[in-house]
Amino acid sequence: MILVSSKFLILSMLLSGLLVNGLIIPSFAVQPIPQVCDSCQPMVAHEWSPLKQFKVGIPLPNIFCKSGLVLVFKISDSSPACMKSETGQKLVERGWGVLNEQTVWFEYTGIECQKTPWVKSFEPLGSQLDERGVIIDYFERQGITIIQSFWTYYATAHQPPACGQPTDFSYYFVVPESDANKMTSLGYKKVDNVPSYAHAVGKL
């Protein structure tokens, strides 16, 4: 028969249990900590309303609608709405909005140390608009409706590219399909999607 030293036995019990007021409580006697809510499930994007998805920064074309509904963007303020196809088509015909499938994404990457076209346009006017407002107004002057603008810029300390080189961030614009040719003629590049880390212009 092999005898185990008392020191080793106490150490084993300590590792497997709790020491409370000088007493060793073995692990099997310790009740597990209950969860706050057994049935709680994390909220996922497809359970949010279109407006909620929009406000948390989900790009407009990626906003989820329930089955049987289509995504429509209100032109006046870019807000999204999910509705039946027939209703959406009527609103599009009235000029109220545009269907998601009737939109196109474009990319713009600037040159370091050079101003963007919209900043150049407004600088002499001393505009008090924020950059998003300047972008919308600039493109309206070109006859283009900007439904939403995104960028990949983050205000973090880093070494920027040398002057004359492409910037290390890009802008992304979603426009109605009817304005796609105008965007192309101005030199903007058509893209199929935007990076997952892109966020609305003006938000960091």
Choice among 24-28, 121-125, 161-165 with the minimum mean pLDDT: 24-28
Domain contains 179: yes
Range of the domain at 96: 45-200
Q: Is residue 178 included in any domain, yes or no? A: yes
Query: Average pLDDT for residues 2-12, to the nearest whole number?
Result: 50
Number of domains present in the structure of the chain: 1
Query: What secondary structure does DSSP assign to 81-150, as a single string?
Result: EEE-HHHHHHHHHTTSEEEGGGEEEEEE--BTTS--HHHHHHGGGT----HHHHHHHHHHHTT---SEEE
Range with the poorest average pLDDT among 82-96, 97-111, 153-167:
153-167
Task: State yes or no: pLDDT of 109 exceeds 90.
Answer: yes
Share of the chain above pLDDT 70, in %: 72
Q: How far apart (Å, rounded) are the C-alpha atoms in residues 169 and 153?
A: 5
Q: Read off the pLDDT of each residue in 122-126 and give the average, rounded to a whole number.
A: 67
Which own/partner contact pairs does 159-165 have at CB distance under 8 Å and 24+ positions apart? 160/112, 161/112, 162/112, 163/112, 163/113, 164/111, 164/112, 164/113, 165/111, 165/112
CA distance 113 to 186: 20
Q: Is residue 193 part of a domain?
A: yes
> Residue 11 domain-assigned?
no
Residue 111 lies in a domain: yes
Is residue 175 situated within a structural domain?
Answer: yes
Write down the pLDDT at residue 203.
Answer: 55
Residue 113 has pLDDT above 90, yes or no: yes
Segment 139-153 mean pLDDT: 91
pLDDT at 88: 92
- Quick check: is 25 in a domain? no
Residue 53 forms part of a structural domain: yes
- Say how far residue 33 (Cα) sits from the centre of its chain: 36
Listed range (37-41, 67-71, 111-115, 159-163) with the worst mean pLDDT: 37-41
* Rounded mean pLDDT, 94-118: 92
The mean pLDDT value of the chain amounts to 78
pLDDT at residue 62 is higher than 50: yes
